[in-house]
């Protein structure tokens, strides 16, 4: 069971490595969107400091969603997905491995690059840690919930826009807790409450999302 999961993660990472531009596009999107806000709103340092957590988190949500369309599409097109569904390994484990690979490719780079964006927004250095930690806890939830939507919209016309309509409302709790934790530290308070709630969301998503992804895949492929 673990061998199958490891195999899927390894394969997806290898595929991502062979098509580096796909990974880079989502990351560049994140950087560009966050760079647009100071240009549109104005570069007042106080204003930028106060909107930074929200802007970075919203950009992370959108960037994560952009890469969701590719999660199952290629496997669906070349028949790999049917083989995965026929596999003797539990489909939930396979779905969890796919979501994990998606997070490693699209979520983890955001966590690493977020402090750089925070510099652009003139956030004080003590906030970098909590920003990265909140993204580290929150982005896996985005990948798992997003994978449910990606599986449901597999092969539909207008899938990308539809996916955003399905998935973005479900991202709201992660956004509120993630941006809220940074706001707390900025206000001089402890972010424990928000971070623990993010961790709780992560645990609940890890427990239930793989089975929902598996059910959605079965519905879409049968």
Kindly report the backbone phi and psi dihedral angles of residue 123, in degrees, each rounded to the nearest multiple of 5, phi listed first.
-70, 140
Region of 2-10, 92-100, 106-114, 169-177 interacting with another protein (CB under 8 A): 169-177
Alpha carbons 59 and 41: distance in angstroms, whole number: 15
Locate 146 and state its tokens.
Answer: 């997003």
Residue 47 binding another protein, by CB under 8 A: no
Choose one: 24-32, 70-78, 129-137, 190-198; the region binding another protein (CB under 8 A).
190-198
Q: How far apart are CA 164 and CA 108, in angstroms?
A: 21
In the complex with another protein, which residue's Cβ is closer, 39 or 161? 161
* Nearest residue (CB) to another protein, 50 versus 80: 50
Residue from 117, 148, 185, 202 in contact with another protein (CB under 8 A): 148
202 binds another protein (CB under 8 A): no
Question: Could you say which DSSP state residue 168 is in?
Answer: G
Task: Compute the 3-state secondary structure of the chain and give helix, strand, coil in percent, each to the nearest 5.
Answer: 85, 0, 15
Provide the token pair at 57: 């988190």
Segment contacting another protein (CB under 8 A): 17-25, 62-70, 72-80, 182-190?
Answer: 182-190
Alpha-carbon distance values, 183 to 37, 55, 148, 170 (Å): 18, 12, 30, 21
Is 144 a binder of another protein (CB under 8 A)? no
- Of the chain, the end-to-end C-alpha distance in Å amounts to 23
How far apart CA 162 and CA 135 sit, in angstroms, is 25
149 to 168, contacts with another protein by CB under 8 A?
152-153, 156-159, 162, 165-166, 168
**Contact stretch for another protein (CB under 8 A) within 10-18, 67-75, 129-137, 210-218:** 210-218
Binding window for another protein (CB under 8 A); candidates: 14-22, 42-50, 98-106, 145-153: 145-153
CB 177 within 8 A of CB 194: yes
13 binds another protein (CB under 8 A): no
For binding to another protein (CB under 8 A), which residues are involved? 145, 148, 152-153, 156-159, 162, 165-166, 168-170, 172-173, 176-177, 180, 183-184, 187, 193-194, 197, 201, 208, 212, 215-216, 219-220, 222
């Amino acid at each position: 069971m673990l061998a199958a999961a490891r195999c899927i993660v390894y394969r997806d990472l290898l595929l991502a490595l062979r098509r580096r531009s796909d990974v880079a596009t989502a990351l560049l999107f994140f950087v560009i969107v966050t760079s647009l806000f100071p240009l549109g709103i104005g570069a007042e340092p106080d204003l930028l400091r106060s909107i930074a957590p929200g802007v970075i988190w919203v950009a992370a949500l959108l960037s994560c969603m952009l890469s969701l369309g590719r999660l199952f599409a290629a496997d669906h097109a070349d028949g790999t997905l049917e083989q995965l569904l026929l596999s003797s390994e539990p489909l939930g484990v396979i779905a969890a491995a796919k979501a994990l690979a998606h997070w490693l490719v699209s979520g983890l780079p955001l966590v690493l690059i977020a402090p750089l964006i925070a510099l652009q927004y003139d956030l004080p250095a003590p906030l970098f840690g909590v920003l990265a930690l909140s993204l580290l806890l929150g982005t896996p939830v985005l990948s798992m919930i997003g994978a449910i939507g990606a599986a449901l919209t597999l092969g539909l016309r207008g899938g990308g826009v539809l996916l955003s309509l399905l998935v973005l409302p479900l991202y709201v709790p992660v956004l509120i807790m993630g941006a809220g934790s940074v706001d707390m530290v900025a206000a001089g308070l402890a972010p424990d409450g928000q971070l623990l709630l993010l961790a709780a969301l992560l645990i609940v998503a890890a427990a239930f999302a793989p089975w929902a992804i598996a059910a959605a895949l079965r519905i879409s492929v049968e």
